[in-house]
Amino acid sequence: MPTTDVPYHRASIGAEEISEVVEVLKSGWLTTGPRVQEFERAFAEYVGCKHAIAVSSCTAALQLSLDAIGLEPQDEVLVPTYTFAATAEVVTYFGATPVLCDSVSGGFNIDTLDVERRITPRTRAIIPVHIAGHPCDLNAIHRLGDHHRLHVIEDAAHALPAVYHARRIGGISELTAFSFYATKTITTGEGGMLTTENDDFAVRARTMRLHGIKGDAWKRYSKSGSWYYEVIAAGYKANMTDIQAAIGQVQLKKSDEMCKRRTQIAQRYMDAFGALDELELPPLSRETVDSWHLFILRLKPERLDIERNDFIEEMKRRGIGTSVHFIPLHLQPFYAIRYGYRRGDFPYAEDAYSRCLSLPIFPDMTEAQIDTVIKVVQAIVMEHTRAGIAA
């Protein structure tokens, strides 16, 4: 059995990111400044959107999106239960109610039919999440949004650079939120980007990301800036720094190359596991190009006598880092207690959660590391195939 340890993730940070950060540190301008503006312009061009607004996190980008649409306490927002905490918690910041929806059968993304069932006169928006970087059925979601006059805010934390019907995610919906968290497809340590086609939303988000100060608040300590500032709303502290933007600029240039490598790794996994009846591969679609932020494998319990948690322990024992994306929100104490959700409420999401584990998929993985992951998964499957079912 191979012994090389494989971490779950390692960010691809090279000499260029390091030297760009040093440049910023030497420049004397550490917070929001020219590097943020350059990063925003490059990002807008890359995804094909009108406005890109750099912020401190994807969570902040989602919060600014809900602020831009004017979310109010009586409102409801439809979000998948199968997502990270951030997608729904932002709705509660406004005193509004996140309404959870199930996943599609056989997949992880939000089910549009379930979304439709949960629309009420109080519904204001839908936040679809492109789980693992596999784009949601945006045409169906937009049809629903148009018909019921709902805003569509994409949580694209996983989806740079993903493509839906030949268009990059980020230039399709009214508002899209990206994450540059440490494990994401490009990283600035912590950070995010809000993209929008709407000029008013862009002005509002730029103002609100820095204390609700009108105009280019970040310039007030620069030579061309002025000491005078006007607070026109109670804003947030959600700006990105030039240090982060400098890393982001380099990462963005490498985005296509890193995605190509993740796609190769995903293909190696699919080639290796496709023939195993004990495993279920991630969903694919002809209309999308995935960013492969995650590779989520699902076990078939009817064919294996090992459960997901023990499978993960076995992987760990043999030196392979894994993770679980995600524990559905309705199973979390806060959502269960506050909104009364119960186990059994979202059967497809629960089924996916109970059987899933995410394998390492990062651009700097070596061929030997990929081989190791494949061999370990195959070995555990072989040791635990249910007697009588193996071919």
Ligand X SMILES: Cc1ncc(COP(=O)(O)O)c(C=O)c1O
Residues lying near ligand X in the complex (CB under 6 A) = 57-59, 83-84, 86-87, 129, 155, 157-158, 179, 181, 192
* Nearer to ligand X (CB atom), residue 258 or residue 306: 258
Distance from C-alpha of 230 to C-alpha of 236, rounded to nearest angstrom: 14
Active site residue 184: yes
Rounded to whole angstroms, the Cα distance separating 252 from 60 reads: 20
Between 57 and 244, name the residue whose CB sits nearer to ligand X. 57
Instruction: Please identify, using beta-carbon distances, which residue of 80 and 145 lies nearer to ligand X.
Output: 80
Q: How far is the CB of 72 from ligand X (least distance, A)?
A: 22
Task: Report how far residue 155's alpha carbon sits from residue 178's, in angstroms, rounded to the nearest whole number.
Answer: 7
* Residues 54, 36 contacting (CB under 8 angstroms): yes
- Least Å from the CB of residue 375 to ligand X: 29
**Catalytic residue chosen out of the listed positions 26, 50, 184, 254:** 184
Q: Which residue has tokens 């995410």? A: 358
Residue 179 C-beta: closest distance to ligand X, Å: 3
C-alpha distances out from residue 221 to 28, 32, 215, Å: 12, 11, 14
State how far the Cα of 224 lies from the Cα of 241, in Å rounded to an integer: 19
Asked whether 46 and 161 are in contact (CB, 8 A), the reply is yes
Residues 6+ apart with CB under 8 A from 300: 277, 278, 279, 280, 355
| Smallest gap from residue 55 Cβ to ligand X (A) | 9
Work out how close the CB of 339 gets to ligand X at its nearest, in angstroms, rounded to a whole number: 19
Q: Are 176 and 156 in contact (CB under 8 A)?
A: yes
Q: Give every CB contact of residue 363 below 8 A, 6+ residues apart in sequence.
A: 12, 257, 258, 261, 262
The three-class DSSP label of residue 73 is coil
Closest to ligand X by CB, 129 vs 153, is 129
Residue 87 C-beta: closest distance to ligand X, Å = 5
Query: Judged by CB, which is closer to ligand X: 155, or 350?
Result: 155
* Residue whose tokens read 């089910």: 111
Report, in Å, the least distance between residue 234 CB and ligand X: 21
Residue 98 CB contacts under 8 Å (≥ 6 apart), including other chains: 76, 77, 79, 88, 89, 91, 92, 329, 335, 339
- Please give the structure tokens belonging to residue 96: 């509004």
Burial class from Cβ neighbours inside 10 Å (0-12, 13-18, 19+) for residue 38 reads: middle
Residues 6+ apart with CB under 8 A from 86: 57, 58, 59, 62, 155, 157
End-to-end CA distance of the chain: 24
Tokens 């940070």 belong to 13
Pick from 89, 54, 33, 357: nearest CA to 191: 54
Q: How far is the CB of 191 from ligand X (least distance, A)?
A: 7
**Catalytic residue positions, numbered:** 184
